[in-house]
Amino acid sequence: MISFVHTGDIHLGLHFNNVSFDREKAIARRRELWSTFERIARYAHENHMDFLLIAGDLFEDRYFTLGDMRRVRDILGSIEDTNVLVIAGNHDYLYEKSLYNKVEWSPNVHIFRGDGLEKKEFQELNTVIYGYSWDRVEIRDSVSFEDFDLHDKGKNRILLLHGDIGSNSRYLPLDLNRLRELDMDYIGLGHIHKPQIIDENIAYCGCPEPLDFGEVGERGFIQGHITQDGTNIEFVPFSKRSFWDIDMILYGDMGYGDIVDSFNDIYEGKKSRDFYRVKLTGYIQNDIDVEELFKCLSDEFYHLEILDNTVPDYDLEALENDYSDNIIGNFIGEMKAKGLDDTKVRDALYYGLDALLKGRVNP
């Protein structure tokens, strides 16, 4: 039996320039990428994993320094009993001045060098690992498996690729059926940040730390074992923080306290730790200040954003009486005649009133 941890898309060094959270949290996230990378390495070592597989985009080439790469070298060198296999992706692709080439790696670390498919054999573990590293920022052609011998019979066979399942991608397009035909014991994929177990022996590890609100939900890595009976893999949640997109519908009869209770009832994640973006829709009482609501709630959350798409819930009878002699009163009467039980009619009425009342003073 052999065991492995499959990770990738860590993006060490990322600056988080185009994000919705503030600079202080962005700097903290940069540090947390490093701490999670170290935790994964430690996990592989402490759990006596035979292999730590890194499926590309370990770091951001445009921001990374030689000092950063030495730090990576030291982290991976510290787990000398774990074999570390690394392929380069589109964010850390191999070229002449690549930082991958600027340090001397410890004996337990192997970097696939970007000359097409390559293999590394571990005779004592009866295992062969094949890897394909990027050597440029875009690769529009798929990997040519026909020109490479992948038939190491009687051995555990693992393939590492950083690419996009689909035919029209500029990020190493991969044919899923072709991958299945290779009959590998395991194919570890990188590039897609959402973890996906595609088959019992094919998986995207996803990114171990989510980078923004485009990457909601749990993140971690894939852990696996290969035995004579086959391959067993599982997703292991491991991120320090998560991002959550929450849709919250409000109703006109909900008071301030009811809305606060709805925020308190959010069950996804952990409020004191994670990033939340709450999208409000529906109807809200006209005297409830969403900005004040945000200030009241923000201390309960590590990070909270509120997107207010609600419509003010008006007292229609009072408005109709107050504006009975002008367009607003007539508009309310006409829409009521159409039937406010119809959601489209009710929405049209409230949106119309919001537009008509803006800029007006009380009669």
pLDDT in tens, 73-115: 999 999 999 999 999 999 999 999 999 999 999 999 999 997 7
> At residue 361, does pLDDT exceed 60?
no
> At residue 360, does pLDDT exceed 60?
no
pLDDT band at 43 (very low <50, low <70, confident <90, very high): very high
**135 in helix, strand or coil?**
coil
**Contact in structure between 57 and 8 (CB atoms under 8 Å):** yes
**Contact in structure between 54 and 7 (CB atoms under 8 Å):** yes
> At residue 147, does pLDDT exceed 80?
no
Mean pLDDT calculated for residue range 291-314: 92
Mean pLDDT calculated for residue range 129-133: 97
Mean pLDDT calculated for residue range 303-308: 97
103: which DSSP letter?
S
- HSE-CB at 132 with a 13 A cutoff on CA atoms is 26
Alpha carbon distance 304, 21 (integer Å)? 9
The proportion of the chain whose per-residue pLDDT surpasses 70, expressed as a percent, equals 98
Of the candidates 268, 264, 260, the residue with the CA atom closest to the CA atom of residue 288:
260
The proportion of the chain whose per-residue pLDDT surpasses 90, expressed as a percent, equals 77
Summary mean pLDDT of the chain: 93
In DSSP notation, 176-226 reads HHHHHHT--SEEEEES-SS-EEEETTEEE---SS--STTSBB--EEEEEEE
CA distances from 361 to 64, 310, 337 (A): 57, 22, 27
Alpha carbon distance 115, 133 (integer Å)? 7
pLDDT in tens, 188-226: 999 999 999 999 999 999 999 999 999 999 999 999 999
Alpha carbon distance 220, 196 (integer Å)? 11
